[in-house]
Amino acid sequence: MCGISGIASRNSLESEKTNKMIQAIHHRGPDGSGFHVGKSFALGMCRLSIIDVQGGKQPYVSSDSKVSLVFNGEIYNFKEIRQELASLGVKFTTASEIEVLHHAYVQWKLEFVHKLRGMFAIALVDEAAEQVVLIRDRLGKKPLVYCLDQHETLYFGSEVKALLAAGVKADPDFEAISNVYRRGYPGRGKTGFTSIQSLPPASILTYQDGHVSVKQYWQPNTSKETKVDFATALTNTTSILEESVRLRLNAERPLGVFLSGGYDSSLVAALATKLHSGDVNTYSIGFRDRKYDESKFAAQVAQALGTKHHNLIVEPDPLLIVNELAHCLDQPFADSSIIPTYLLNQFAAQSVVVAVGGDGGDETFAGYDRYLATPFLQRINPLLGVANFAISNMPSTITNRFGRKGSRLIQNLTKHPNIESRYSQIMNLMQPEVFDQLVTEKIKTTQIRFDPYLTNLLNYNKSDATKSLRNLDLTEYLPEDLLYKADIASMAHGVEVRSPLLDHVLIDYVSTLPTKYLIKGFTTKYLLKQITHQFIPEQLLNRPKMGFAIPRASWLRNELKEIRNDYLLDQTAIRRGWINQAELLKVLALHDEGMDQDQIIWPLLMVEIWARTWLDQPISSR
């Protein structure tokens, strides 16, 4: 696991910028750094050593100096690829993944990407072909951002801050900021900066003659359906899961498992316990507010599995948000679960370097309630006109009593022309009418050119709405929100997080199974739950899903109230002119009166903190 960066140009090359880029992301690879400068390019990396600690140094340069590359991530099947290459006569001098990647490219050119099973961001220079190639893994677990400037120079790196350190312009992208207000993250391909783009998952970027082209090399299979009975599907899926976990237990550094006590992480912990030769350490965090505390459930599962369990109780810390997270999040981001994710990695980093987690279970196995609710609500769409009238005339003092999930359901009892429009609303943090009132014309007049929840569904199998929604989340919500969060929070502490439930072999298989195997009646994630019950008693897991949430509404009303007001109501925010202050005061007053508005306030606060950290401050002071 590493941080990578580089520059390629048709003109004069300022290679010393690469050192600045690596220094900006040195937290990703504290075990060492390396650089390679060619005639028209420069590569840099900082390394977190996991495999072949002594021999896997980067950048890797071929013996004839024609091919050089840097790599961030893990290739779990690199030994199998190495054996295949050896059978073709290839000679190896190290036991590292990076040398395998080099020889695989030489042997199969860009087709080699189809052989890779893992998480990766790869940058390679082929001097004979006079091109630079950037490759991102299928699910987008490892980030890779880039900028092609007005001089046709390409900058790229693992994080935005690396490009800013090289002098790339930090101009705000108002479309991305609008997306953060509405959804919590910038959106596919966006970073919050007009000049910097994120390479989409499963994509290959080629830079040649000063131009960039991007092509997709993989997507989940949504058209094919495997004809198997449920027992066979259960057996096959269990076998793939065991292999996926086994591959991710290979490490030369201390390893642990993140355990929340829910189905996904509990299954991963159970398989790790079964397959790992030594003791398994599990890690969880909790809150004093019982409504958000899953730590007792994690402890029960850990006891049943016989792991060495470690637990941390989290308290709200304003300085954490303003200082630490603000400097980690170089993109505007408003998923508040970044806080427990960050603290969990900080806690685990005291004793492990590699952690295995349950990310992706809901997307892979259809675990979200919205996969049930969306098709149902659209089926009764004609009846919702009356419901919408009643809801619009219902006092907010009444609707607020239904709780968070109930209030969200009530908000969505409205008519929609199609399922795409309905799902777009369900995924919103801030509803359109609130957005229109709160956001000024400076933001509002920005044309939202691409809403994936309104357009991407057209590419999928609309005869099976649940499959369509699940695969949309796999390609949009998962990489742009959940995996970005996991990468930033883990790499801030030098921890590599591995996600066996996001193995592409597993996804390729599960995506072809009938939806009735994933959702049975009102039970979501049915197949995964049946697998988990083979290892853990059902009574330890059969409870309402909590998610990795924080007591956000309470914190914004109490411990974070002063910071909230300082950032949103002062002259800096007013001069920025993005938010209608009169409407904001109404929202804050409602929240302080006990009517939770945190899903609106939190994105506003996080965007303002990001703007002050990455737009207002000079690079030298960050």
List, in order of start, the domains of the chain with CATH numbers. 2-216 (3.60.20.10), 230-366+465-540 (3.40.50.620)
Cα–Cα dist 23/375, whole Å? 49
Show Cβ contacts of residue 87 under 8 Å, excluding neighbours closer than 6 positions: none
What Cα–Cα distance (Å) separates residue 434 from each residue in 401, 414, 416, 421, 584?
A: 20, 16, 18, 17, 10
Task: Look at residue 196 in the predicted model and tell me its pLDDT.
Answer: 98
> Do strands 131-136 and 118-126 pair parallel, antiparallel, or not at all (unpaired)?
antiparallel
Most distant CA atoms of the chain, gap in Å: 76
Burial-class residue 268 by CB neighbours within 10 Å (0-12, 13-18, 19+): buried
Task: Look at residue 458 in the predicted model and tell me its pLDDT.
Answer: 47
pTM recorded for the entire structure = 0.92
Q: Which residues of 25-54 are buried (b: 16+ CB within 10 A; e: fewer)?
A: bebbbebebbbbbeebbbbbbbbbbbbbee
Burial-class residue 121 by CB neighbours within 10 Å (0-12, 13-18, 19+): buried
Task: Look at residue 591 in the predicted model and tell me its pLDDT.
Answer: 97
- How would residue 399 be classed by pLDDT, with cut points 50, 70 and 90? very low
Is 405 in a helix, a strand, or coil? Answer: helix
Task: Look at residue 393 in the predicted model and tell me its pLDDT.
Answer: 53
Tell me the mean pLDDT in the region 60-81. 93
Tell me the mean pLDDT in the region 560-565. 94
Sheet harboring 211-216: ordered strands across?
A: 60-61, 67-75, 118-126, 131-136, 203-208, 211-216
| Cβ contact 430:440 at 8 Å | no
Lowest-confidence range among 38-42, 502-506, 578-582?
38-42
Task: Look at residue 389 in the predicted model and tell me its pLDDT.
Answer: 54
pLDDT-above-70 percentage for the chain = 89
